[in-house]
Chains A and B, each alone.
Chain A
Amino acid sequence: GIQVEQSPPDLILQEGANSTLRCNFSDSVNNLQWFHQNPWGQLINLFYIPSGTKQNGRLSATTVATERYSLLYISSSQTTDSGVYFCAVERSSSNTGKLIFGQGTTLQVKP
């Protein structure tokens, strides 16, 4: 099956710093989403980005589908950005909406 690898696995930042999270995937995809999992477990949608670039406030994401990777940028990080960030993809050959998740990047932003 398709492999989804996220890096780095853990990241510690000082408040105000910028960061880049990476997601590599091993097959062509028709869906790619970035999520932030809050301390209570809920997955918050950040971006639906099978290709191209999007921005939402301090966050932006870029997916280069032909090279099979996506990047999530966090600028001017805040303590509320702490948590686990997941990348999830659906293979292009899939017709079920099945998402395959990476292992996640655990981000800690210190005040």
Chain B
Amino acid sequence: ETGVTQTPRHLVMGMTNKKSLKCEQHLGHNAMYWYKQSAKKPLELMFVYNFKEQTENNSVPSRFSPECPNSSHLFLHLHTLQPEDSALYLCASSPLDRGGLTEAFFGQGTRLTVV
């Protein structure tokens, strides 16, 4: 079992659909993140949650709605997406311990295709 688990691994959705991506971490970390990896672009941070509180929103359109019910779970709710939102969505977690390790670990990713 990996430390960070994402479901589903693949998702195809229409532009009028509503779907959710799920991320779960088993590492006891207090911070969780959503990153987006589009073709030919570097990974870009979307959202940061620290102890369930959103601490950063990197100018992400409102059609992406994150939810963090507790320190172990993170969701990304999707609605009325555009074809250009097709990408690999990666979840990560880290201990965010200012006095020690801040190493981030990533899940396997969800490959999203919007049709």
**A45–B103 touching, CB < 8 Å:** yes
In the assembled complex, the Cα of A45 lies from the Cα of B109 at a distance in Å of 14
Main SS of the interface on chain A?
A: strand
CB contact list, B70-89 vs A, under 8 A: 88
**B109–A97 touching, CB < 8 Å:** no
Main SS of the interface on chain B?
A: strand
Chain B nearest CB: distance from A80 CB in Å? Answer: 18
**B90–A43 touching, CB < 8 Å:** yes
Q: What residue in chain A is nearest B3 (Cβ atoms)?
A: A45
The bracket for how many chain B residues form the interface is 20 to 34
CB-defined contacts of A101 to chain B, threshold 8 Å: 42-44
**A42–B109 touching, CB < 8 Å:** yes
Q: Is A103 an interface residue (CB 8 A)?
A: yes
Q: Which residues of A approach B to under 8 Å, CB–CB?
A: 4, 30-31, 33, 35, 40-43, 45, 48, 86, 88, 90, 95-104
Q: List 24 A-B contacts (CB under 8 A).
A: A31-B102, A33-B103, A35-B106, A41-B37, A41-B90, A42-B106, A43-B106, A45-B105, A90-B102, A96-B31, A96-B48, A97-B31, A97-B33, A97-B48, A97-B94, A97-B96, A98-B45, A98-B48, A98-B56, A99-B33, A99-B43, A99-B45, A100-B45, A103-B42
